[in-house]
Amino acid sequence: MTAKKDRERTVAFYEIVTEKHERMGQVDWPKLLAGLSTAPIKDRMVQGKLRTLVGQVVTYQETDHLLLGKVKDADEWIEQVNFEDGSIEQFDNAENRGLLETTVVCFLPYGNVVGMIRGSTSAPGASALEEWINGLGFLEGDVDVRAIVSRGAMERIKKADGARSMEFRVGTSKAAAVADAGNRLGRTIHTLRQEYGDAMITIIVDIPKDKAFRRARHELLEDVMQLAEITDVAERAKANLTYFDETDDAKAESVNLMQERITAKRRVPSRDEEGQLIRNSSAVAAIMGVAAGSERELRLAVDATEG
């Protein structure tokens, strides 16, 4: 079989805040990871309602990072193929082993910012990291992990008086991540998935221009704020914001949240020249490289310009 070229993967950045969506002092992530590096698996594993998450500390250039894995359901039918003779055989896990889908997570030294590269579309994302941190309980109070959108876009949203319209599109493989959220958008996606199954979902909300709908536009603005936090799973995320001047006349301005995320594409080598697996260290190097090049933008986005 012809060797595959290393694929480009997305480096994405997130901010860890309190469950009330408030920023907090910088957590000593290196200290927490150092403690986890020697912890038994039971102290690194979170058994949730829908998934089991396992954390493993990986060290690269004398700095600890996190490999977060989601245990694949043991009841899934997984086969393995021999590309030389074409045979397909059933894959049978040993009783004390499991298959993981993994994500590499790097904790940056400011603003409680993390960078991530997911190994697959169904590998752990922001909601999984949030669930894992909260499940282990090593911080005071629960946290929320939200996507980082450029400072300029967030300021435009915060200054708006309301939102006239919102459009959101999510694919079948990522809709579950939105449905798990407890907000109005999450509940809507959850209901649609129950009714229609694994379908591509597009939500368009349009509110009349009439002043009588001012409250509805303000409520929709709150949904836009929530939408900004989950752009990592969206295929489309945009809104028309409304601003009122001193004469009470409305002005509209569009914002495309997909274009306002701080992300980058990088090739992540899986093996070195000698054939040894290096994908985790390659992912760390890619994340830290993008973080260094985007540091000013990231610091501005999370108000961490000092330190």
Does the structure show a pLDDT above 70 at 94? no
Could you say which DSSP state residue 19 is in?
T
What percentage of the chain exceeds 70 in pLDDT? Answer: 92
Question: What average pLDDT does this structure show over 127-149?
Answer: 92
Does the structure show a pLDDT above 50 at 131? yes
137's torsion region: left (phi>0), alpha (psi -120 to 50) or beta? Answer: left
Question: How remote is the C-alpha of 254 from its chain's centroid?
Answer: 24
Q: Is 258 exposed, middle or buried (0-12, 13-18, 19+ CB in 10 A)?
A: middle
Does the structure show a pLDDT above 90 at 26? yes
Question: What average pLDDT does this structure show over 238-265?
Answer: 85
Of the pLDDT bands very low, low, confident and very high (cuts 50, 70, 90), residue 307 is low
Of the pLDDT bands very low, low, confident and very high (cuts 50, 70, 90), residue 65 is very high
What is the C-alpha separation between 182 and 197, in angstroms, rounded? 19
What percentage of the chain exceeds 90 in pLDDT? Answer: 45
Residue 232 near residue 247, CB atoms below 8 Å? no
- Of how many residues is the chain composed? 307
User: Which range has highest mean pLDDT (133-137, 225-229, 242-246)?
Assistant: 133-137
Torsions phi, psi of 156, nearest 5? -65, -40
Q: Which amino acid is at 5?
A: K
pLDDT value at residue 181:
63
**What DSSP string describes 209-256?**
SSGGGHHHHHHHHHHHHHHHTTTTSEEEEEEEEEEE-TT--EEEEEEE
Nearest by Cα to 11 from 302, 296, 301, 287: 287
Angle between helices 151-159 and 214-228 (to 10 degrees): 160
What is the C-alpha separation between 281 and 106, in angstroms, rounded? 11
Of the pLDDT bands very low, low, confident and very high (cuts 50, 70, 90), residue 303 is very high
Does the structure show a pLDDT above 90 at 166? yes
Helical H segments across 137-213, by residue range? 151-159, 175-179, 184-196
**What DSSP string describes 271-306?**
B-TTS-B-HHHHHHHHHHHHHHHTHHHHHHHTT---
pLDDT value at residue 1:
45
42's torsion region: left (phi>0), alpha (psi -120 to 50) or beta? Answer: alpha
User: Which pair of structure tokens corresponds to residue 204?
Assistant: 């368009």
pLDDT value at residue 5:
65
Average pLDDT along the chain? 87
- What are the pLDDT digits (tens) for 193-219? 888 888 889 999 999 888 788 899 999
CA distances from 34 to 28, 37, 102, 107 (A): 10, 5, 20, 13
Does the structure show a pLDDT above 60 at 2? no
Does the structure show a pLDDT above 80 at 136? yes
Does the structure show a pLDDT above 70 at 270? yes
Is-above-0.75 flag for pTM?
yes
What is the C-alpha separation between 137 and 94, in angstroms, rounded? 30
User: Which pair of structure tokens corresponds to residue 177?
Assistant: 């991540």
Task: Please report how many Cα atoms fall inside a 13 Å half-sphere around the Cα of residue 186, on the Cβ side.
Answer: 13
The helix/strand count (H/E) of the chain reads as 8, 14
Does the structure show a pLDDT above 90 at 183? no
pLDDT value at residue 305:
85
pLDDT value at residue 21:
81
Residue 103 near residue 118, CB atoms below 8 Å? yes
What is the C-alpha separation between 99 and 253, in angstroms, rounded? 47
Q: Tell me which of 170 and 30 has the higher pLDDT.
A: 30
Q: Which amino acid is at 156?
A: R
**Positive/negative CA dihedral, 39, 43, 46, 47:** positive
Question: What average pLDDT does this structure show over 91-115?
Answer: 87
